[in-house]
Structure formats: structure tokens, C-alpha cells
Amino acid sequence: MLEHLNRAMERIEDGLDGEIDVAALARIAMTSEYHFRRLFSMLAGMPLSEYVRRRRLTVAGAEVLDGERTLLEIAVRYGYTSGEAFARAFRAVHGVGPGEARRDGAVLISQPRMSFRLVVEGSSSMEYRIAEKPDFRVAGRKARVPLIYRGVNPHIAEFIKGLGAETVERITALTGKEPLGIVSVTDDFSPNREEGSELDYWHAVVAREGAVVPDDLEVLDVPAGTWAVFTNTGAYPQALQEMWGDVYGQWFPSNPYESRPGPEILQVRFVPGAGDAQAELWIPVSRAGARG
């Protein structure tokens, strides 16, 4: 799969002065557009749209300094509808406007071309299983929070703190399907999953069949499908955040599966007195190349 991803990266370079067709990139990578966007964000550490923007302005910066074309010609060449729009985008990346850069010979910022490779360390293996689940309901409380990749998310922590013990007990009483007990459910991400974008966070359970959900709680209906279930134990929250990265950076490129739309479910159990946690992460997947 990495070979196909790198072919898609070459197509991006060929299209910097035109439209970037993400669906075409996904076809080159032999995956779905949904999975391609998510995989790129996790591997590159930035959304695909941001990478394309930075690469365009890197190449445009070289043309600005070269001086052969007018600034307006360069702006139009790289997809900007006006010199003003180009100047704003240019300044956001390089710290100076294109006119200043050309006049003063400014030092510009370069976004290198990316390519992907799999680093095989051999010191540990990733434990996972594939599970088929019928349709189920998630029941609990949810909040719209910003996405934070590293460290404790203070917005989530504040949300959980505000629920109160009585509410958590009522939610817990509804559990009955694997994974059992209170889980963290994340859903409705932005397409690019950029840090700071919003998502739905649920403090909830996978409800048992026939459970009557109180009116003050919310329900998310999840259709039947295939799930990859990953487990690890380590320092909280670093170990489970690294597990998320390993899933996208190592497991997906090495296995015949791709992510599909759906909530991600995380169950965490703390190890008494150790500062560690046992984590089980459920990711909705489909066989690579499968559709529907």
C-alpha cells in the first residue's frame, strides 16, 4: 500500500498548478477517499489540504524570487483568484508578502515533498482482532469538543467532570454489549481531522438489547459492520494516543483493511497504583477495495 500512497504523492506534485482531485488520488492509492484522507492526516501530521497549500506556496515562493513572472501571473497559476488572496496566503506561510519577498530577497519557508515508508522496529507487535458486530446503540451523553492529538483534552475532562456520579451510574446501568462498561466514543470528525477541528465526544455505553434509555440521555444508532479491535497497556494517555498513531501509521499500511465511516470506541481501564491503563480501541473497517 505504501507504494501506491507514494504514487499518489507524485500525482500531487504534478498537479500543484491545477486542481487536485482527491478521488483520483484515492484511486491511485487503491483505497477510498474517506480512508485516504484519514490515513494521510495520521501519517503526515497535517490534513491533505494543508499539505497541498504549503507545497503550492513553497513552489510559488521559488517563482516569486525567480522574478520571471508577475505576481498576479503566479497567483493565478497556483489557483488564487486575486493578488490579494495570494498575498494573504503567502504571508501566512512565509511570514512576508510576495512583494516584500521579491524586493528584499527574503528568506522563505519550504514545505518538503513527502513520501512514506514503513519503519520496522521489530521490538514489539500490535495485538488486534477482527470482530463482526450486528447493529447496536450507543447511549449516554455527548459534547462537541475540539480535537487535540497530544495530552489530556481539557474540554473532554471538563465535560466528564460535569456529568455527576448519578448520571454516570444511570449510563453504566444500560451496558450489555461488548465492549462492556463506560466507553469513550468519538464521531462526526471533520473530513481532514485537523487539530482544533470539532468532533462529537460521547461518555456512554454500548447498550444492551431492549434497554430503555431515559429521555435525558442521547442515543447513537450504529449499523452492523466489521471492526478492528486493538489492545495495549501503558502510561495514560500517552500509550493510547501512540496506539492511535500506530494503527494508522503501521497497521493499515501493512494489512488488507481500510477505515470506513463510523464512530471510534475506546475503553480504558486504569491499573491500580501504576499510572498505567489498559486500552481497547475499536475502529470501523472494511476489506481494502470493498465498497458499500
Query: Going from the N-terminus, what domains does the chain have, and what CATH number goes with each?
Result: 2-104 (1.10.10.60), 127-287 (3.20.80.10)
- CA-based nearest residue to 108, from 120, 119, 100, 116: 100
* DSSP states of 88-117: HHHHHHHSS-HHHHHHHT------PPP---
Say whether the peptide bond before residue 47 is cis (omega within 30 degrees of 0): no
CA atoms within 13 A on the CB side of 140: 28
How many whole angstroms separate alpha carbon 186 and alpha carbon 166? 23
Which amino acid does the sequence have at 91? R
Per-residue pLDDT of the chain (292 residues; tens, 9 = 90+): 678 888 999 999 999 998 899 999 999 988 888 888 888 887 787 888 889 999 999 999 989 988 889 999 999 999 998 999 999 999 999 999 999 989 877 778 888 888 876 554 433 445 888 999 999 999 999 999 998 877 778 999 999 999 999 999 999 999 998 899 999 999 998 776 777 789 999 999 999 999 999 999 999 999 999 999 998 888 777 777 778 778 877 788 777 889 899 999 999 888 777 778 888 999 999 987 654 4
